[in-house]
């Protein structure tokens, strides 16, 4: 049991205690989308030199 349960109403008024609990605010969840393939560079175009020295996309 809590101490508040043992106090009289007069004592509770002196302490400015209310039994109503305030609703807790929900914490915002921060979702971060990370595209790891792009960060690592696997989605990039690859280029190669073909015959004659021209650069071509693969």
pTM over 0.75: no
Burial class (CB in 10 A: 0-12, 13-18, 19+), 53: exposed
Rounded distance between C-alpha atoms, residue 37 and residue 33, angstroms: 12
| Structural domain total, the chain | 1
pLDDT digits (tens, 9 = 90+) for 7-58: 888 888 888 876 677 778 888 887 778 888 888 888 788 888 888 887 777 7
Residue 50's domain spans which residues?
3-56
Rounded distance between C-alpha atoms, residue 49 and residue 54, angstroms: 5
Burial class (CB in 10 A: 0-12, 13-18, 19+), 7: middle
């Amino acid at each position: 049991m809590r101490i508040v349960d043992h106090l009289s109403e007069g004592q509770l008024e002196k302490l400015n205690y209310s039994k109503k609990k305030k609703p807790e605010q929900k914490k915002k969840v921060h979702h971060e989308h990370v595209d790891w393939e792009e960060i690592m560079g696997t989605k990039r175009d690859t280029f190669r030199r073909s015959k004659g020295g021209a650069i071509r996309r693969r």
